[in-house]
Structures are given as structure tokens and as C-alpha cells.
Chain A
Amino acid sequence: MRFEERVVPTIKIGDCLLVPIQIDLDDRTVEQLQAQLLAEIQEKRVRAIILDVRMVDVIDSYISYTLSETAAMARLMGCQAVICGIQPAVALTLAQMGIELRNLMVARDLEHALALV
């Protein structure tokens, strides 16, 4: 994958791909992120992707839908997906809207995420 197509820099640790999302997610970037991650899963043959969303202030229904969708696609490629570091206010908002992050495992932090996969 060409550098300019990557919206989020990723780090490969062992056979896990760490994805620290440091940008404000909007509709376009979350779609680009999906494409990027699928390409990287294939290229790097990772066993799991770990989405770190500590810096993300808003996760609305479309962003959560796209993340769940990405996880489902990853699963079909033999790769697990974990989300970690959800902010308390974001967690409360998702819960109140009744959104479940389907196909994604939830972890407290990176350490917990690595233990889950």
C-alpha cells in the first residue's frame, strides 16, 4: 500500500497489527481506514488488528457501523479485531444509542488487547 493512501500509520507487533487512530474520524477517513486495513491484513498476514481509539472523541452510528463492518471483513480473511481505549463519554453515548460493536472484541488498553487475541 502506498504511503499516501494510509490515513492512519500502523505498527506491526509480532503477528498483530496495531492501529492507533490519532485523527478525528469522519465518514471519508473511516472508509479510507477500512480499505487501508484490509490491504494491510493481506499484505502483512497478521492474526489480529487492534484499533486503539483513545484519541477519538466522537463515534457515531456510521463510524461504529464501518468499524464493525471492517471487523467482519477481517474475520473472513482469518483475522480477529479488537477495539481498545474507548473514552468513557463515547462509551456512554454508544450505550445510550443502543449501538453494539458487533464483531469487535473490547479491551481496556493495548496490554489487555494483546492478551485477548
Chain B
Amino acid sequence: MEGERDKRGLMDIQEEDFDVVVRISREDDIAIARQMAKQLAQEAGFSLADVTKIATAVSELARNIYRYAQTGVIMIRKQYQETNNPTVQVVAVDRGPGIEDLDLALRRGYTTHERSLGIGLSGVKRLMDSFEIASKVGVGTTVVVEKRRRKF
């Protein structure tokens, strides 16, 4: 799985591989993406706390798209690895301005927006089990996050 993704690269992810694809272009789409994520995580048997964490992370990612790139896509899928411990993967892709300094963007409290805590991306990273980001100025940004279902 991991290797396959590396080969194709973060910027070349196929929409048809995902269970849910939500296009973000209006403010309302943030709530829609959040709702879809919640439903999917519930179906996969995540605990209520983890469902809430996933929904919140999707909310943050969708808002980042709306705020900085205006349009983009949130894609969500369930993945079943060899053991019966499913993972929810969320991919956020936009063709926005891109992020110049990723380390800075991930720092808690850093923001370029006036109405923000600067907690979005760093918060998403804390809520999820894995976090990958690729960004190129003038091309766009892709964020891939995953959360696996806990054994107990």
C-alpha cells in the first residue's frame, strides 16, 4: 500500500478509489464533508471519540481548502489491512497557491488568516495517527491523513 502510493506520488491520487468525494467550493461544503466523514467512520466501527476526531480533522482540512484555495476536493475511504483493524484515510487536494514553508505552516499558532487560532493543520496532525503533506507554490497542496481503529 505504502509503496504504491509513493510511486504514484501524493499529487496523483485517483478519485475513483475513494468511498466519498466531496467538492469544496462553498462554505456549506465544509459541513457536508464533516458529515460524510462522520458517517463513514461510524460505519467502520470507530469509537464515538475517534469518530468526532476524524470529523473535526475533516472540518479543518475542508476549511483550509475553502479559505486558502477557494476550491478543492476532500476524499475519504475505508481501508482494510491484513488484520481486521480498519483505517479511515482522508485526502485533501487543492490547486491553490500552495504553502511556501511547510514547517512554519505546521507550527502551532502560525496563521496567515485573521480569524484563526493557527491550530488547524497542527491540530489535524495531533488528532490523526498519520499525516503527510506535499505542497508546491503555484501548483497546490495535498494532505493525506489516516486513523486506524483502536483494538480496544
Contacts and interface: CB of A to CB of B under 8 A. Distances in A.
Interface of A: 24, 26-28, 57-62, 64-66, 69, 87-90, 92-93, 96-99
B119 A57 contact: no
B52 A99 contact: no
Contacts of A90: 52
Contacts of A92: 49, 52-53
B56 A58 contact: yes
Contact of A57 (B52, B117, B122): B52
Interface of B: 27-28, 30-31, 34-35, 38, 48-49, 51-53, 55-56, 59-60, 63, 108, 115-117, 119-120, 122-123, 126-127
A97 B119 contact: yes
A65 to B, nearest CB: 5
- Classify the interface of chain A: helix, strand, loop or mixed: helix
Interface centre among B53, B116, B117 (most CB of A within 10 A): B117
A57 B115 contact: no
Nearest to A95: B126
B52 A98 contact: no
Interface centre among A57, A69, A93, A98 (most CB of B within 10 A): A93
Top 5 A-B pairs, shortest CB-CB distance? A97-B123, A89-B52, A26-B31, A60-B59, A89-B49
B115 A60 contact: no
A98 B108 contact: yes
A43 to B, nearest CB: 25
A61 to B, nearest CB: 4
Interface centre among B27, B120, B123, B126 (most CB of A within 10 A): B123
A93 B49 CA distance: 7
Contacts of A87: 52
Contact of A26 (B27, B120, B122, B127): B27
